[in-house]
Structure 1
Amino acid sequence: ERGAVLSPSFLNTIDQFTAELEAIDGVGKVQTITPYVKRMNYIMNRENEPYKQVVQEDISFDFFGGAFGFDDSFGFEEEIAVESVSATWDPNTYKEIPTDPAKYGFETDEELQNMIVQYLLLFSGNLDNFINDDLEPDATLLTIQLKRSNTEILREVTAKIDSFWGSELSNGWHYSVGGGEAIALALTDLVTKSQIYSLIGAMVIVWVLVSLIFRSPVAGLLGTIPVLFALMGIFSFMVILKINLDIITSLLAALAIGIGVDYAIHFLAALQRHNNLDKIEKSLQQVMNTTGKAIVINAASVILGFIGLIFSRFMPIKQLGILFCVSMLFAGLSSLTVLPMVTIMLKPKFIYGDRKKEGPKENHIPNKRRIAP
């Protein structure tokens, strides 16, 4: 309904919302139309005795006489000199949103709303930043200033907005949250959800591919070990260094998956090639002396190559260099420590066959009978 924004009850609700929102740590000022209404209400009524019945010959407001009359020297831009009057009430009682009709000599809320409309007509400033019409506004804008911007504060503010207006607004009213910070929060949620879905999908694809390569679902699970440790290292250092999850850092997770599964495939393939030794420990030692050294050299060379990005002054590039080095380190170390340990514990058939059921083979010389001539 047009003009409902200026109803005393709705303006009082905005005032309550402002007080609750400004109580949140990290929220500065909330700019609304209510301070202007309070200021004009105080100026227009500070000499009037509250709850005094006013007899009016004309119900309509007179802009040029009575309580709403102005002389040439009156203005809201400068302080008005007012003669002292003897009164038994506090003029500051009018620094409020008028919600009590009897206090102002009225009988209904509609009369209070008409009085507020007259205030806005007399106001010489511009209120376009708060309402869409001076006489019958049906929309109002509330601007929230934040002392600091981070995801926690944005979520708390958004939750407060949803909980307050979700219960206060009646049918036919609706609200929306906008601005740069709201877009940033929506983008963060979108990146986070996309990251979760992409990581789960990529891990499933890695498991399927490694399982097909080695023809064993156990091999697929083993192939995800370096990937999981690489991701764990990336997200752990993001928390330690307070690096936000954004579009750039989210791309690193995909790179970590490719790096981790590469080391796992090399190690498992080498272990499968050297499974002809009598003891598993000897087979593992042979793999460490060959493929293990190659993994160490590869990881070290890539880390040294990306260390140069750490000295960049462009923060996203610097963060990318740090996290990439961390992912390479965790993927390489887990491939040479955790993956062999799990392999020894499980003794998977796709590498050792049924050898875990057999004991070590003993060298023996077959008996030969000597045939006499």
Structure 2
Amino acid sequence: MGDTLARFSMRHYRWVFAAVLALVVALGALIPRIAIDTDPENMLASDQADRVYDARIDERFDLYDTIVVGLVSERDEAGIYRPESLADLHALTRAVQEMEGVVADEVMSLATVDDVEQISPGTISFDWLMDVPPATPEAAAELREAVERLPMFSGSLVSEDGRAAGIFVPIEDKNESHRIAGEIEAAVDELGIEDAVHITGQPVAQDTFGVQMFQQMAISAPLAGLLIFVVMVYFFRSVPLVVAPMLLAMATVIATMGLLIGLGYTVHIMSSMIPIFLMPIAVVDSVHVMSDFSDRCRPGSDPRQVMTEVIRELYKPIVFTSLTTSVGFASLMLSPIPPVQVFGAFVAFGVLLAMVLTLTFLPAYVAALPIRTIEAMRARVHRHEREGTGGDCRLCRFVASAGRLATRRGRVLLVLFLGLLGVAVYGITQIQINDNPTRWFKADHEIRVADRVLNEHFAGTYEAYLVVEQREGGDLESLLAERAEPILVEAREAGVNLREDWQSLLEASRGKDAQATLDALMFAIDDRLFEVSGQEARWWERLLDAAEAVRSEALTFQDPEILRYLADLQAYLEEGDHVGKANSLADLVRTVNRELVSGQPEDFRIPDSTAGVAQTILSYQSSHRPGDLWHFVADDYRSANVWLQLPSGDNQDMQRVLDAVEAYVADHPLPEGLAFEWAGSTYINLVWQGEMVEGMLLALLSAFAVVLVMMVVLFRSLWLGLLAMLPLTLTVALIYGVMGLVGKDYDMPVAVLSALSLGLSVDFAIHFLQRLREAVAECGNWREGLALVFQEPARAITRNAIVIALGFTPLLVAPLMPYVTVGLFLASIMAVSAVVTLLMLPAVVSTWPHRFFAEPTHALSDAPVDTPKEV
């Protein structure tokens, strides 16, 4: 099959070129339609329960994604409370409010919030805290005293040490956060602010990563390709010959990305890395082909005949390595994360496309090369062989040494590998699952610096919401119907039929929510009482009492005991350092109550009655920012939001907060009828990370099983199939074990790379064992077979490992950590899997040859294997 395909491609090379060109042009033309999506929330399906609930909470409490801007002054003891610094803060706040895409009325800073102050007992005033910036140090000191009396602002809008002030910038669309952050930076420069200004927040990190990942893709992929090209030229001594694998890789990447975009998929953080993954995969098989071709193409040989022989021998290994790699990536479709599914599917497609091009385009390319180009390549390669110089000769000596070591010290090597496996297993148990979009940047990136500095000063720039809801009793209209029904039945039995009038009033009173409906209904009943007779009025009065009772019962979060529970929960979380700060309706009520009663600290408490709570809420609604109330409580008072500020966005830290709340509720049960749920971007990141890990584990185990079956089928032997899986098993174990030992978190890039490690780690084993089977069949002896394998095949494996490992070193200097991780893992996978293949497989075969090859008893002696003479 392989030689037939090669001959056809070489005879009709112009048609092959035309077909490849048409494919690239047709699919490449779709790339300008690209749509970019950098929102980690889309890691979850649109109908996933936590995501749907989070969206509903944003709507219910009027919550927005927020950019955090911090001004930090370290010049003197006054810190940020200097007239000049406060003037800069005021000016920058006003500039931010005028920016397109900013929710101006919701911007939070000292320049946009109220001071709450008692005029006389029972009377308070709400004045702008900093309508104009203080002109003197004394006025700035007075402002500091006012801020420190407002617990909702201290630690949030101003750091407790007084050295930093923040501006919380709600935005209409998180996808505009990078642009808005850039405009804020421009405003800082224009205003000439001397204090350090830092900009952070999860929307900025996510959107900035989206912008920079495409910049990095445009830099890293070509650099990697260039270095791969240079290394291959060094090995093969022919630029025209090496151009073929590079053209093949480019065609694969362009066609795959064009198909993805053309089918309407957005390019997410995951799919943006498809070119980086496909480049080495597309080149791997090409290097095997070109390596064998350059080794076999001796003076006087027919290049076409040589290529036919190469494709015939490599056909099965190429097909099976491509299928196993494709299975590894296709297994990602088992993940519940949509962008990961898309990534896996299209990389799998790209792998299969690269296989087809390797088997057709490379022979066609060789057929099209002028004979003088082939002759020049032959002369350069074999001159170095005759002279014993050059990288290839050193490579021959290295491979020969590896062959002797593997067969003469097989048992020692196996003990060493078992020891390494034990260490790796221990390292795997130390792996910690953790991710944080801010950590996708290197430590010296401006976003990481801003994140570190502001979270040192403030209570936290990461947000999570603990939503407590009244779950029992049904919705208000159902509860009202339940209470009204007995009254309507009794009235009808007494000869007064009110049902039709009642339904008419209810429909006419229906408002935007149940609370508004109840208010309008009570007004309508009160009006009706002036129109009806005394007998009928009695029943309407009972209906009015029922509506008032339902309304009163519905105001769950005006209950003092429930608000005290929230306050105690907040204190527990803050005092235990589980969160930087927690704010809720309880803080607002306590602050207003203090000023209504005495203005003294002892009255910073929840009123003793529902009426007292209602009075504080009513008083707050006369402030300049009454809408802030609805960030903490729904307008029907049946659900409340506890806003948590976290100084870290790591999944581990968010999980600790969840565990702390669970422990507190276990010891202090929620008031009857209440339940809680979580929302907020930090929590959503935890959810999709958890789903990704579970999905990746299922995908990895499933793919491992499928690949094992494929190996048994390929080699028609259970033992050879198991042997082929050894390098994969040890490579994956070693890489993840080292990751656990050095403390590298298991994050999104690492999880996805599990598929790559599975696919590439088995490739070398397939080439090694397939060529060994053919060599044993040819010479009739496993020893001679091993000697033959440690010539061309082993050199091809080593060249491949070197080409890919070196080719992706440019990724190590990328400013984005996922690219660094990919580069490091690619290099590690190729290097480790090559070493394990060339040492472990011959060690196992030489130790138990009868398990794999039927030979006479005399062939099982311990005599050393003859390996190729050194060049």
Query: Same fold per TM (> 0.5)?
Result: yes
**2:834 maps to what in 1?**
332
Report the TM-score when normalising by structure 2: 0.33
Name which of structure 1's ranges 210-219 and 304-313 shifts more when overlaid on structure 2: 304-313
The code of the aligned residue for 1:260 comes to S
Does 2:827 match 1:275? no
Report 1:39-118 matches (<5 A).
Answer: 39-46=591-598, 92-98=601-607, 112-118=609-615
- Partner of 1:174: helix, strand, or coil? strand
Shift of 1:291: 2.2
Aligned mates of 1:346, 1:15 — CA distance in 2: 70
Aligned mates of 1:233, 1:361 — CA distance in 2: 31
Deviation string for 1:306-333 (max 9, x for gaps)? 1222233343223211111111111111
Shift of 1:345: 3.3
Report 1:1-373 matches (<5 A).
Answer: 1-25=553-577, 27-46=579-598, 92-98=601-607, 112-123=609-620, 124-125=622-623, 126=626, 127-133=629-635, 137-165=637-665, 168-170=669-671, 172-236=673-737, 238-239=739-740, 240=742, 242=744, 244-246=746-748, 248-275=749-776, 283-347=785-849, 349=851, 351-353=852-854, 355=856, 358-360=857-859
Change (3 A) 1:25 1:284: farther
Name which of structure 1's ranges 194-203 and 298-307 shifts more when overlaid on structure 2: 298-307
Deviation string for 1:296-315 (max 9, x for gaps)? 11111111221222233343
Aligned mates of 2:658, 2:557 — CA distance in 1: 22
Counterpart contact for 2:753–2:822, Cα < 8 Å: yes
Aligned mates of 2:825, 2:860 — CA distance in 1: 48
The code of the aligned residue for 2:796 comes to A
Q: How many residues align?
A: 301
Shift of 1:347: 2.9
Change (3 A) 1:299 1:174: same
**2:210 maps to what in 1?**
none
Shift of 1:148: 1.4
The code of the aligned residue for 1:96 comes to R
Shift of 1:114: 1.6
Shift of 1:143: 0.9
Shift of 1:22: 1.6
Aligned mates of 2:850, 2:681 — CA distance in 1: 54
Shift of 1:196: 0.2
Aligned mates of 2:835, 2:766 — CA distance in 1: 15
- Partner of 2:821: helix, strand, or coil? helix
Shift of 1:145: 0.6
Aligned mates of 1:318, 1:266 — CA distance in 2: 29
* Structure with max Cα Rg: 1
Name which of structure 1's ranges 200-209 and 27-36 shifts more when overlaid on structure 2: 27-36
**1:51 maps to what in 2?**
none
Shift of 1:163: 3.7
Change (3 A) 1:25 1:334: farther
Name which of structure 1's ranges 290-299 and 206-215 shifts more when overlaid on structure 2: 290-299
Question: Which has the higher relative contact order, 1 or 2, with Cα contacts under 8 A spaced 6 or more apart?
Answer: 2
Counterpart contact for 2:606–2:613, Cα < 8 Å: no
Change (3 A) 1:313 1:241: farther
Counterpart contact for 2:731–2:761, Cα < 8 Å: yes
Identity %: 24
Name which of structure 1's ranges 338-347 and 219-228 shifts more when overlaid on structure 2: 338-347
The code of the aligned residue for 1:93 comes to E
Change (3 A) 1:343 1:10: farther
Deviation string for 1:60-111 (max 9, x for gaps)? xxxxxxxxxxxxxxxxxxxx7xxxxxxxxxx643322345xxxxxxxxxxxx
Shift of 1:211: 0.4
Deviation string for 1:119-158 (max 9, x for gaps)? 211223321111123xx51111111111112121011112
Let me know the Cα RMSD of the aligned residues.
Answer: 2.7
Shift of 1:361: 9.1
Counterpart contact for 1:233–1:327, Cα < 8 Å: no
Q: Which runs of 5+ in 1 are unaligned?
A: 47-79, 81-90, 100-111, 363-373
- Partner of 2:634: helix, strand, or coil? coil
Name which of structure 1's ranges 159-168 and 30-39 shifts more when overlaid on structure 2: 159-168
- Partner of 1:97: helix, strand, or coil? coil
Name which of structure 1's ranges 307-316 and 274-283 shifts more when overlaid on structure 2: 274-283
Name which of structure 1's ranges 223-232 and 172-181 shifts more when overlaid on structure 2: 223-232
